[in-house]
Amino acid sequence: DEDIESLSALAVQAGVAIENARLHRVVERQAVTDALTGLANRRQFYEVLGREYERSQRFGTPLSLILLDIDDFKHINDTRGHLAGDAVLHGVATTLAELIREIDMAARYGGEEFAILLPMTTTSGAKEVAERCARRLGATPLEVDGVPPLKITASMGVAACTGGTCGDL
């Protein structure tokens, strides 16, 4: 009986420890993830950008960045409401996540702005990714609350470092 009681107490403590570890992982993930889009947040983006920049400089490999801004987003919020705006942000995030490689990182940079970090990618490769994103966004109208679908476009810019020629970021 004494052994069973001791083992039961130990099992309860183990269960609590496992739950604490799970909750710690959840909180860590929440600290670096944008809640609405599920993408990395700005803090995580800057942390990974710093590491990738250092790697690019050390090994002389290319590193590219795409900044994306959803066109007329304020108009969508003003005419369709913030829930529609949230649906657009989520839809754009989903599209970006589908179009990038596993080593790339898409992040919500701010309001309706996104950043895509492309390690080991030249300027021309980054332009191809940006064009693919633009085509996919334009070709996939977003359904929002059963009203006419929204056609989404975005403005994008590409920056790249090649072979250690980034300068100071």
Six-digit token string for 42: 């700005």
Residue that has been written with the tokens 């300068």 in this structure? 167
**Extended strands (E) in the chain:** 63-70, 105-110, 113-119, 142-144, 147-150, 154-161
Distance of alpha carbon 33 from alpha carbon 39, whole angstroms? 6
State how far Cα 79 lies from the chain centre.
27
Catalytic one among 2, 28, 98, 112? 112
Q: Please give the pLDDT value at position 140.
A: 82
112 has catalytic annotation = yes
What global pTM score does this model have?
Answer: 0.80
Q: What is the mean pLDDT of each run of 10 residues along the chain (169 residues)?
A: 86 85 69 89 95 92 96 93 91 96 96 97 96 93 78 94 63
